[in-house]
């Protein structure tokens, strides 16, 4: 006979999901109402406005897709890419590779701009590729590569794409709310994110935003969008304007309560303050990790503050350390993916989880477990280094 599930309490400092705010958890438990209820339609409008603030855009077509970030990615690709198109995809980690897969499945041709894992996308490579492929209609890249912690210069990449009359499609799953994202100022045409990173919410929704240029491309398609559920020509009738909304799907009502609360918290804190908070706690965590002797994968100028990829010390077994952290301390950090599997740990400082308590807890637990494992690290110095970093701020 089954019994109710009571999950253990964890400190989530991996690449996501991250810790959920108690305010969001409370919002999730509010009474469910209909997805076409006038009160819920009013909430949808508020969510759109709050997402426009988070994305720094005035795009009317800004909304949460009723599925996780991977569906937001697919929503962008299936609407903007048609069979026979040429799409330039920048890859510097796992998620650029997923972009390539979306292009192929849409019947289009991907042209790859490849950079080393752990480095930002090279703008000169993108420009050279576009010169060689004037037939390209879209440039896709990951702003914040979750598999490595590298952040690319989205403003520059979007400007280059516009030079060649290409639309831009941007992955901001790990960046939204944690590091500057400026859709209108950068000229982004389509962008997607997730709720489980810096928005302090559970996984399950994917905020997206589309420029008018992107919507024109969607309206003028020669082929039907291959996904009925993600076809913006249909979804726009539900997430459109006014009080009359056409039924498209049953929205995840309570999950949207949670997103509204998380976005309200972001608005209360202020975007610039949220960005500064992520930088501040990253600097303290960085100081402690480096004092221990751990090395970062990404050069400092290209590094995300909210996703810290560090190399595993020589002779230390990846999975056993992570399991010990989970069992003894209730602390989750992430493993490496793809080419970095078994070589790095990914330590997240995202949203509600980005705070001083988590920084010191992570440093203390990691130092203890690495000491038990016989790692060649400096002991007894990490917390002092983090404290000095805080004192300098």
Q: Are 88 and 65 in contact (CB under 8 A)?
A: no
Go through the domains of the chain in sequence order and give each one's CATH number. 21-267 (3.40.640.10), 271-392 (3.90.1150.10)
CA 369, CA 346: separation in Å to the nearest integer?
A: 16
pLDDT at 242: 63
CA 229, CA 304: separation in Å to the nearest integer?
A: 33
| Per-residue pLDDT at 245 exceeds 90 | no
pLDDT at 62: 97
Could you tell me the end-to-end alpha-carbon distance of the chain, in angstroms, rounded to an integer? 55
Torsion angles phi and psi, residue 347, rounded to 5: -110, 115
CA 385, CA 299: separation in Å to the nearest integer?
A: 20
pLDDT in tens, 14-59: 999 999 999 999 999 999 999 999 999 999 999 999 999 999 999 9
| Per-residue pLDDT at 139 exceeds 80 | yes
pLDDT at 154: 98
pLDDT at 247: 87
Q: Are 250 and 230 in contact (CB under 8 A)?
A: no
Element at 74 (helix H, strand E)? helix 69-80
Q: Are 163 and 42 in contact (CB under 8 A)?
A: no
């Amino acid at each position: 006979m089954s019994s109710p599930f009571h999950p253990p309490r964890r400190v989530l400092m991996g690449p996501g999901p991250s810790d959920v705010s108690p305010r969001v958890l409370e919002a999730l438990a509010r009474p469910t109402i209909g997805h076409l209820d006038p009160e819920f339609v009013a909430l949808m409008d508020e969510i759109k406005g709050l997402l426009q603030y988070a994305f720094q855009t005035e795009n009317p077509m800004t909304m949460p897709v009723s599925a996780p970030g991977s569906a937001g990615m697919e929503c962008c690709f299936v609407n903007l890419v048609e069979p026979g198109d040429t799409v330039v995809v920048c890859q510097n980690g796992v998620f650029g590779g997923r972009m390539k897969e979306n292009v192929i499945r849409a019947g289009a041709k991907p042209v790859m701009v490849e950079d080393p894992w752990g480095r930002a996308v090279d703008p000169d490579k993108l420009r050279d590729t576009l010169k060689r492929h004037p037939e390209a209609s879209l440039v896709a890249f990951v702003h914040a590569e979750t598999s490595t912690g590298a952040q690319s210069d989205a403003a520059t990449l979007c400007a280059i794409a516009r030079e060649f009359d290409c639309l831009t499609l941007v992955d901001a799953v790990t960046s939204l709310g944690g590091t500057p994202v400026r859709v209108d100022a950068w000229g982004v045409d389509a962008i997607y994110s997730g709720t489980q990173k810096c928005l302090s919410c559970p996984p399950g929704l994917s905020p997206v935003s589309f420029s008018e240029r992107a919507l024109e491309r969607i309206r003028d398609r020669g082929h039907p969008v291959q996904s009925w559920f993600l076809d913006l020509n249909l979804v726009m009738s539900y997430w459109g304007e006014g009080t009359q909304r056409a039924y498209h799907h049953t929205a995840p009502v309570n999950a949207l309560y949670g997103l509204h609360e998380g976005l309200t918290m972001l608005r209360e804190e202020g975007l610039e303050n949220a960005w500064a908070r992520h930088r501040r706690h990253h600097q303290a965590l960085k100081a402690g990790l480096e004092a221990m002797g751990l090395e970062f994968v990404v050069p400092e100028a290209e590094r995300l503050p909210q996703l810290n990829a560090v190399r595993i010390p020589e002779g230390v077994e990846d999975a056993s350390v992570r399991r010990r952290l989970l069992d003894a301390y209730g602390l989750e950090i992430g493993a490496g993916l793809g080419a970095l599997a078994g070589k790095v740990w990914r330590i997240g400082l995202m949203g509600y989880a980005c705070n001083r308590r988590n920084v010191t807890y992570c440093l203390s637990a990691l130092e203890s477990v690495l000491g038990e494992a016989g790692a060649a690290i400096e002991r007894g110095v990490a917390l002092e280094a983090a404290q000095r970093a805080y004192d300098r701020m």
